[in-house]
Amino acid sequence: MDRRRFLVAASVLAAGLGVPGQAAAQKRVTLPAPAVPGGKTLEEALRQRQTRRDFDPRPLPDEVLSGLLWAAWGVNRPESGKHTAPTAMNRQEIEVYVAKADGLFLYDAKEQGLSRISETDMRAATGLQSFVGTAPVNLVYVADMTKVAGKTAEEKAFFCGADTGFVSQNVYLYCAVMNLATVVRANIDFPALAKAMGLPSTKRITLAQTVGYPKA
């Protein structure tokens, strides 16, 4: 990602960060300004984009989590409310949940914050591979099927899958720039995870993605 543009975006976000009201303080987490990736070029990021499954358990600093989420699905044009990833017909149906040791959160792209959904550590439920339970962050991509474009079930499945792919690739590129390990995953017990997350039937888990520092 272009460093100057990222800095502009970070300062816009930092300027726009609101202090949540006292009543909502326990449920709302305002993220710090996103961590600015170092000086890697787009070419370097593309060359280094890769799947890694060796995760160190240490948590990501908040500014790195903030940068990761902003890269994934942040609002990059506040004037129109549009995001870093495209969606078919701009339906913006993708929700990004964050499963960490201290609970399950929903990313609020408009406010660059997190809303706590649960205090339970659900990382192990986000996939069927052993590393998911100990890696610091598992993103769970969810499509609000009431918003997704398409007339038929097949079209809707295609659009929400395609839209998720752009978010995932943004995460891959952010991880490449920040020397983080990541793997996008479909190897999930989808009904069990939807139940654990308390999702209504109108919301569909599309993919999950683990992120963390690579094992030394």
Applying CB under 6 A, the residues found at the interface with ligand FMN are: 50-51, 53, 129, 183-187, 207
Between residues 109 and 208, which has the closer beta carbon with respect to ligand FMN? Answer: 208
Q: Which of 191, 146, 205, 179 minimizes the C-alpha distance to 64?
A: 179
Q: How far is the CB of 18 from ligand FMN (least distance, A)?
A: 35
Between residues 128 and 196, which has the closer beta carbon with respect to ligand FMN? Answer: 128
Between residues 17 and 157, which has the closer beta carbon with respect to ligand FMN? Answer: 157
Alpha helix segments (H runs only) across 40-188: 42-48, 62-73, 153-178
Q: How far is the CB of 70 from ligand FMN (least distance, A)?
A: 22
On whether the CB atoms of residues 95 and 198 are closer than 8 A, the answer is: no
Between residues 36 and 211, which has the closer beta carbon with respect to ligand FMN? Answer: 211
Dihedral angle over CA of 93, 105, 200, 142, nearest 10: 30
Q: How is residue 196 written in tokens?
A: 């654990």
Between residues 2 and 54, which has the closer beta carbon with respect to ligand FMN? Answer: 54
Q: How far is the CB of 8 from ligand FMN (least distance, A)?
A: 30
Select the residue whose beta carbon is closest to ligand FMN and give its number: 187
Q: Which amino acid is at 148?
A: V
On whether the CB atoms of residues 107 and 116 are closer than 8 A, the answer is: no
Question: What separation in angstroms does the CA of 102 have from each of 53, 138, 192?
Answer: 22, 12, 20
Q: How far is the CB of 156 from ligand FMN (least distance, A)?
A: 17
Q: How far is the CB of 33 from ligand FMN (least distance, A)?
A: 29
